[in-house]
């Protein structure tokens, strides 16, 4: 493509800005109605009532809500807010908000700013335009949003517009969850209950609540905005549907953790400043493996907050990028044959005293507890690998999972050598009395040393234990982490209950010994899920098959795990999702898959017909004229065979592009006639997707033949290497 336009650096001058340098600690969380602010602004008894409601998970009376709403409004107006909005997470996977002005008419030509407890606690957005998977027919489109007191309200600034955002759950009038927050909150409750019971059984005292903790590492790409707008595929679908890989990719390994370019550093600085103001603990930033790929890892937080914050991270990444004339790409695989983006979701459980339950302790007793939670998690993954896989299934993630750089579609657990050895020791049954000495003999005393520095990091594992937490690496970079987290919480709750029942049923008096005997049996059963080797190899795929581990490579297949009796009963039993709710999710995810694929088909068609083929024809004409012209001047003896060969190759590519495109369109049309969404998705996946890949090869061949000056699309090397 013609490169005439110089890169526009950031519109803002950081050097000047930084003259009024303010330490982060002075503005961290300033745009949130934080605990500190609430303590300051609310009457003592109101503050206490609110905290009790949050901690004990109970509703707030309307008088208290009125007082809080008033304080919140005053605070927001001081921050410049003119509007308030219930901020929620519909099944689109992104966030939604409807703004209402604080100003209300108070007389003729007069207004007064108002915000009541009722408006704080409940909202009524029109639910008909959000996906519900058939839960709610459009004629009964009413839904409501309910304040989630556990996530602080915040100020959202967009240009000069300033809005008070109140995190809410989104529910139908008949009580079904229409969003991603509700099941997460319910799953937190479920895992807390099961974990508290287990801790009590193991002799724990004063344990009231257990929280799931999440630390989502967010990967992303940045490209120049000017290039972005010249790629309809990136604008509309987030992924380059055509484009040849650059001559240099990531093979030199010079990008990962490399020094960050100035333009990018400035962007990161700006983006993190926004996040800090919102109380998002943006901790670590670095270059990722692919050129122009980066990562932001926040400090972990309580799950619900971490999910909300990850949504804010994704929003902020995109909006700040615009100010730097950059486009932030969150797609799982924006550039074929280049490293894709995921979201490593670090997960653990923590009791109300802040003790991490997956942290090996210093005493044998602590370590028994650690082993119980560790094995409960491994068992959960073993029993429900299919559901976990389904929780990360999407059209975008299909391009990444199993692509030899991301974890495979086979879910397995990495524990590292040392821990695996300990489990083997337990399984072999060296325990008879479970005395401290015996426990030490098992190798358990060395558990504290199983710190993350010692677990050899296995980057290929989809679910790895990394010292004091599990890291679920199959999550897609653009997806909400809410459902994967809700699934983890739910399946672990079930396994904790299962183990608790076994322990209680044991006739062995000594609790430690009873536990070890139960674990011994369990380890034997769940062993097939453990794998410390290289997950990318063909051998593992075959081995996994022998072990009967699911290997669902595509979304339409993977999603079916959500509607098995096993899944439906599990989610219902733990009151996370009713059968109707879970089935509706299956439908929504399936529809999303179909829509994403169809959008790409249209993009591909338009690019081929209105950009690629015309460029090829222009070049074709140029070559043909050159051949004729050369012969005219030099006579028929002139050797023009190379030009003729290029011409032929261009022509072949154009013909192939045209005919494969036609085939694709015919198949899409055939799919459109199918009413069963599952069948339709299967057909699109097996027949259309494969053809799209074939079509792309022809286009990419052409890209390398046609005159660069007339190629209509920015190329990968331009987008990825120019900053």
Return residues touching ligand ADP (CB under 6 A): 213-215, 217, 297-300, 346-348, 356, 468-469
Question: 549 near 528, Cβ under 8 Å?
Answer: yes
Smallest distance, Å, CB 369 to ligand ADP? 15
Smallest distance, Å, CB 351 to ligand ADP? 12
Rounded distance between C-alpha atoms, residue 231 and residue 217, angstroms = 27
Smallest distance, Å, CB 215 to Mg ion? 8
Smallest distance, Å, CB 387 to Mg ion? 23
Smallest distance, Å, CB 305 to ligand ADP? 12
Q: What are the φ/ψ torsions at residue 457 (nearest 5 degrees)?
A: -65, 120
Rounded distance between C-alpha atoms, residue 603 and residue 665, angstroms = 12
Q: Which is nearer to ligand ADP, 347 or 531 (CB)?
A: 347
Question: 172 near 132, Cβ under 8 Å?
Answer: yes
Q: Which is nearer to ligand ADP, 94 or 299 (CB)?
A: 299
Q: Which is nearer to ligand ADP, 96 or 349 (CB)?
A: 349
Which among Mg ion, ligand ADP, none contacts residue 186 (Cβ within 5 to 8 A by kind)? none
Q: Which two tokens stand for residue 227?
A: 């290039």
Which among Mg ion, ligand ADP, none contacts residue 310 (Cβ within 5 to 8 A by kind)? none
Which among ligand ADP, Mg ion, none contacts residue 347 (Cβ within 5 to 8 A by kind)? ligand ADP
Other beta carbons within 10 angstroms of residue 48's beta carbon come to 12
Question: 497 near 567, Cβ under 8 Å?
Answer: no
Q: Give strand ranges (E) for 398-450.
A: 413-414
Which among ligand ADP, Mg ion, none contacts residue 180 (Cβ within 5 to 8 A by kind)? none
The residue with its CB nearest to ligand ADP is 215
Q: Which is nearer to Mg ion, 217 or 351 (CB)?
A: 217
Instruction: Return the closest-CA partner of residue 592 out of 352, 350, 237.
Output: 237
- Look-up of token digits 């932001």: 296
Q: Which is nearer to ligand ADP, 470 or 540 (CB)?
A: 470
Tell me the site size for Mg ion, rule CB under 5 A. 1
Q: Which two tokens stand for residue 432?
A: 């008879």
Q: What are the φ/ψ torsions at residue 131 (nearest 5 degrees)?
A: -65, 135
Smallest distance, Å, CB 535 to ligand ADP? 17
Smallest distance, Å, CB 313 to ligand ADP? 11
Smallest distance, Å, CB 476 to Mg ion? 16
Smallest distance, Å, CB 217 to Mg ion? 5
SS3 61: coil
The residue with its CB nearest to Mg ion is 344
Smallest distance, Å, CB 461 to ligand ADP? 12
Q: Which is nearer to ligand ADP, 348 or 532 (CB)?
A: 348
Q: Which is nearer to Mg ion, 346 or 479 (CB)?
A: 346
Residue 720 burial (10 A CB sphere; 0-12, 13-18, 19+)? buried
Smallest distance, Å, CB 308 to Mg ion? 21
Q: Are strands 343-351 and 210-224 parallel, antiparallel or unpaired?
A: antiparallel
Among 344, 384, 400, 469, binds Mg ion (CB under 5 A): 344
- Look-up of token digits 């050129």: 291
DSSP of 403-423:
SSSS--SB--EE--HHHHHHH
Rounded distance between C-alpha atoms, residue 723 and residue 292, angstroms = 8
Which among Mg ion, ligand ADP, none contacts residue 298 (Cβ within 5 to 8 A by kind)? ligand ADP
Smallest distance, Å, CB 369 to Mg ion? 25
Q: Which is nearer to ligand ADP, 35 or 356 (CB)?
A: 356
Residue span binding Mg ion (CB under 5 A) among the ranges 312-320, 343-351, 394-402, 433-441? 343-351
Which among Mg ion, ligand ADP, none contacts residue 620 (Cβ within 5 to 8 A by kind)? none
SS3 261: coil
Which among Mg ion, ligand ADP, none contacts residue 235 (Cβ within 5 to 8 A by kind)? none
Which among Mg ion, ligand ADP, none contacts residue 469 (Cβ within 5 to 8 A by kind)? ligand ADP
Q: Residues with Cβ < 8 Å from 357, sequence gap 6 or more?
A: 195, 199, 210, 348, 349, 350, 351, 369, 370, 373
Smallest distance, Å, CB 453 to ligand ADP? 10
Q: Which is nearer to ligand ADP, 386 or 471 (CB)?
A: 471
Q: Which is nearer to ligand ADP, 196 or 297 (CB)?
A: 297
Residue span binding Mg ion (CB under 5 A) among the ranges 254-262, 274-282, 337-345, 481-489? 337-345
Q: What are the φ/ψ torsions at residue 143 (nearest 5 degrees)?
A: -140, 165
**CA 464, 185, 220: angle at the middle one, nearest 5?**
50
Angle, helix 579-607 to helix 641-672, in steps of 10 degrees = 150
Q: Which is nearer to ligand ADP, 106 or 362 (CB)?
A: 362
- Look-up of token digits 């990495």: 414
Rounded distance between C-alpha atoms, residue 620 and residue 613, angstroms = 10
Which among ligand ADP, Mg ion, none contacts residue 228 (Cβ within 5 to 8 A by kind)? none
Which among Mg ion, ligand ADP, none contacts residue 300 (Cβ within 5 to 8 A by kind)? ligand ADP
Rounded distance between C-alpha atoms, residue 590 and residue 559, angstroms = 7
Rounded distance between C-alpha atoms, residue 144 and residue 126, angstroms = 8
SS3 154: strand
Q: Which is nearer to ligand ADP, 345 or 647 (CB)?
A: 345
Which among Mg ion, ligand ADP, none contacts residue 348 (Cβ within 5 to 8 A by kind)? ligand ADP
Residue span binding Mg ion (CB under 5 A) among the ranges 109-117, 205-213, 340-348, 643-651? 340-348
696: contact with Mg ion by CB under 5 A = no
- Look-up of token digits 């099961």: 194
SS3 700: helix
Q: Which is nearer to ligand ADP, 209 or 553 (CB)?
A: 209
Which among ligand ADP, Mg ion, none contacts residue 356 (Cβ within 5 to 8 A by kind)? ligand ADP
Long-range contacts, 454-459 (Cβ 8 Å, 24+): 454/416, 454/418, 455/415, 455/416, 455/418, 455/419, 456/416, 456/417, 458/414, 458/416, 458/532, 458/535
Smallest distance, Å, CB 348 to ligand ADP? 4
Q: Which two tokens stand for residue 452?
A: 């993350």
Enumerate binding residues for Mg ion (CB under 5 A): 344
């Amino acid at each position: 493509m013609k490169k005439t336009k110089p890169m526009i650096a950031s519109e803002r001058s950081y050097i000047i800005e930084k003259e009024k340098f303010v330490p982060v600690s002075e503005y961290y969380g300033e745009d949130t109605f934080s605990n500190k602010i609430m303590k300051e602004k609310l009457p003592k008894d109101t503050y206490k009532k609110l905290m009790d409601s949050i901690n004990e998970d109970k509703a707030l009376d309307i008088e208290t809500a009125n007082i809080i709403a008033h304080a919140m409004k005053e605070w927001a107006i001081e921050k410049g807010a003119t509007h308030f909005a219930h901020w929620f997470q519909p099944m689109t996977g992104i966030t939604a908000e409807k703004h209402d002005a604080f100003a209300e008419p108070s007389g003729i030509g007069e207004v007064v700013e108002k915000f009541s407890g009722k408006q704080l606690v409940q909202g009524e957005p029109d639910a008909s335009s959000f996906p519900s998977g058939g839960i709610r027919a459009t004629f009964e489109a009413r839904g409501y949003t309910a304040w989630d007191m556990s996530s602080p309200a915040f100020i959202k600034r967009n240009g000069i517009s300033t809005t008070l955002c109140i995190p809410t759950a989104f529910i139908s009038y008949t009580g079904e969850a229409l969003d991603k927050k509700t099941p997460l909150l319910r799953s937190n409750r479920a895992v807390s209950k099961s974990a508290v019971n287990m801790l009590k059984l193991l002799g724990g005292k004063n344990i009231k609540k257990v929280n799931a903790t999440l630390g989502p590492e967010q990967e992303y790409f940045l490209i120049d905005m000017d290039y972005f707008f010249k790629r309809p595929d990136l604008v509309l679908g987030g992924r380059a549907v055509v484009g040849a890989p650059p001559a240099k990719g990531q093979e030199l390994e010079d990008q990962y953790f490399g020094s960050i370019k100035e333009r990018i550093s400035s962007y990161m600085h700006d983006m993190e400043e926004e996040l800090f103001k919102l109380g998002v603990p943006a901790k670590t930033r670095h270059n990722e493996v692919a050129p122009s790929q980066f990562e932001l890892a926040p400090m972990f937080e309580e799950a619900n907050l971490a999910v909300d914050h990850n949504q804010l991270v994704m929003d902020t990444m995109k909006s700040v990028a615009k100010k730097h004339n950059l486009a932030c790409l969150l797609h799982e695989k924006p550039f074929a044959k280049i490293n894709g983006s995921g979201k490593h979701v670090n997960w653990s459980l923590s009791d109300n005293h802040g003790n991490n339950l997956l942290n090996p302790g210093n005493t044998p007793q602590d370590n028994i507890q650690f082993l119980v939670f560790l094995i409960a998690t491994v068992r959960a993954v073993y029993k429900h690998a299919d559901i976990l896989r389904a929780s990360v299934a999407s059209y975008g993630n299909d391009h990444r999972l199993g692509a030899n750089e991301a974890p495979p579609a086979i879910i397995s657990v990495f524990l590292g050598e040392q821990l695996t050895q300990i489990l083997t020791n337990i399984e072999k049954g060296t325990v008879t009395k479970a005395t401290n000495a015996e426990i030490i003999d098992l190798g358990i005393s060395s558990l504290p040393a199983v710190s993350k520095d010692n677990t050899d990091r296995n980057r290929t594992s989809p679910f790895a234990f990394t010292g004091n937490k599990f890291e679920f690496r199959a999550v897609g970079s653009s997806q909400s982490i809410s459902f994967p987290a809700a699934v983890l919480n739910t399946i672990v709750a079930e396994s904790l209950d299962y183990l608790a029942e076994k322990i209680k049923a044991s006739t062995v008096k000594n609790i430690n010994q009873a536990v070890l005997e139960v674990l011994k049996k369990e380890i034997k059963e769940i062993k097939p899920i453990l794998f410390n080797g290289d997950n990318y190899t063909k051998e593992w795929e075959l081995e996994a098959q022998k072990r009967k581990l699911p290997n669902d490579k595509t979304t339409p297949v993977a999603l079916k795990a959500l509607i098995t009796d096993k899944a439906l009963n599990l989610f219902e039993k733990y009151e996370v999702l009713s059968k109707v709710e879970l089935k509706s999710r299956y439908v929504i995810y399936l529809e999303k898959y179909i829509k994403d694929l169809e959008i790409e088909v249209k993009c591909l068609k338009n690019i081929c017909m209105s950009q690629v083929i015309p460029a090829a024809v222009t070049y074709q004409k140029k070559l043909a004229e050159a051949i004729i012209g050369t012969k005219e001047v030099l006579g028929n003896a002139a050797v023009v065979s190379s030009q003729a060969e290029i011409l032929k190759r261009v022509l072949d590519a154009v013909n192939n592009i045209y005919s494969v495109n036609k085939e694709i369109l015919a198949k899409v049309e055939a799919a459109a006639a199918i009413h069963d969404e599952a069948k339709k998705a299967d057909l699109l996946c097996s027949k259309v997707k494969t053809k799209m890949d074939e079509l792309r090869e022809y286009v990419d061949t052409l890209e390398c033949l046609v005159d660069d000056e007339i190629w209509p699309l920015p190329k990968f090397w331009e987008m990825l290497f120019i900053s």
